Amino acid sequence: MTVRAGDGLGTGFIVREDGWVVTNFHVVRGGGAIVVTLADGREFPAAEIVAASRSRDLVVLRIEAHKLPVIPLGDSTAVRPGDTVLAIGHPLGLEDTVSDGLISAVRHVHADFDVLQISAPIAPGSSGGPIFNAQGQVIGVVTAFLKSGQNLNFGVPSKYVADLMEHPEPISMQLFEAALNAIEREGTASVERHVPHHPDALLKGCTLPAKLLIAKSLSEAIELGAPLYNDGKVAACYHIYDGAAADLGRRLPATCQGPRRALAEGQQRAAKLSDPSSQAWAMRDAFDGLLELLTRGAR
């Protein structure tokens, strides 16, 4: 099924026969009336928001329909790298496109949040679509893709969908739209930066190849994450930044302790924050602090 909000287009799937539909938070964030189009062509406006999580990029909405076919949720905690997956979505408006791939990794963003990295091709319009395991159960929800990331695609594990369903907090569409407007005002507010100023000694023990690796990795992460943030996919941006920091920390040689420590401190600071926008900026501050140090050292 398709989910439209204003000019935005996404995908969704039915989790209860009485009209509960799951999609991404960023799909419905665009403003305007939310309209769900079923596979048989019937259209329904969203009647209410059953539950939502901005930080996990998920929303469960309800339409006034009954006896709908339900897609079962699987156990996303049982997912392992190498498992086969299928993703269904509407890339670029091409309805019900099926793509297959593998679970590339299960990324532990922080103690309360994981994401699934998948190799199944994803394109705009597929956000909010189901990711199936080999048993035909939904183990994830498509949330983001990276245009220049060599087929790097991400999904939110289904365990977070189950959590929303078990703890519904229904609100009217009017209240939800008011909350979205507040988020947009928050997004246009100036951001207070906390970019650390590192001493030159932080690079002690870092070889030239290690310094080049830091500069390349952080620059690429910003290049990939910043457009996601600007598109309103702030949680996805944070996932990219946190994953890049973790990967870089593992790849740096043991002698390059300063940057590894600075990245870990940035991750710890971000993990303590509850808002994904603040988390993304906390990681960006950590990145910019290291990039400024490298630039200073190159003068």
57 given a catalytic annotation: yes
What are the DSSP E strand ranges found in the chain? 2-5, 8-11, 13-16, 20-23, 34-37, 43-53, 58-63, 84-89, 97-110, 113-118, 130-132, 138-146, 152-157, 171-172
- Across-strand partners of 11? 2
pLDDT in tens, 217-247: 898 888 888 888 887 788 888 989 999 999 9
Q: Give the pLDDT band of residue 148 (cuts 50, 70, 90).
A: very low
Q: How far apart are CA 51 and CA 101, in angstroms?
A: 30
CB-count burial class (<10 Å; 0-12, 13-18, 19+) for 111: exposed
Does 199 have pLDDT greater than 50?
Answer: yes
Total Cβ atoms within 10 A of residue 288: 17
- Catalytic hit among 76, 99, 104, 127: 127
* Position with higher pLDDT, 74 vs 236: 74
pLDDT in tens, 36-62: 999 899 999 999 999 988 778 899 999
Does 117 have pLDDT greater than 70?
Answer: yes
151-165: average pLDDT: 89
Q: Determine the pLDDT at residue 257.
A: 95
Q: Determine the pLDDT at residue 299.
A: 37
- Across-strand partners of 103? 118
- Catalytic hit among 26, 90, 158, 242: 26
Percent of the chain with pLDDT over 90: 47
- Across-strand partners of 116? 106, 155
Whether this model's pTM surpasses 0.75: no
Q: Determine the pLDDT at residue 107.
A: 82
How far is CA 97 from its chain centroid? 21
With residues binned 3-state (H G I as helix, E B as strand, rest as coil), the percentages for the chain, rounded to 5, are 40, 30, 35
Total Cβ atoms within 10 A of residue 180: 19
For 139-143, 147-151, 196-200, 222-226, which range has the lowest pLDDT when averaged over its residues? 147-151
Q: Give the pLDDT band of residue 145 (cuts 50, 70, 90).
A: low
Q: How far apart are CA 144 and CA 102, in angstroms?
A: 16
CA distances from 287 to 221, 223, 274, 290, 293 (A): 9, 12, 20, 5, 10
Q: How far apart are CA 125 and CA 11, in angstroms?
A: 6
- Across-strand partners of 37? 2, 43
Spatial contact of 106 and 112, defined as CB atoms under 8 Å apart: no
127 given a catalytic annotation: yes
CA proximity to 28, closest of 50, 6, 53, 43: 6
97-108: average pLDDT: 86
Q: How far apart are CA 70 and CA 80, in angstroms?
A: 25
Q: Determine the pLDDT at residue 184.
A: 60
- Catalytic hit among 53, 55, 57, 285: 57
Total Cβ atoms within 10 A of residue 97: 19
Does 89 have pLDDT greater than 80?
Answer: no
Q: Six-digit token pair at 94?
A: 């091409």
Q: Dmax of the chain from CA atoms?
A: 68
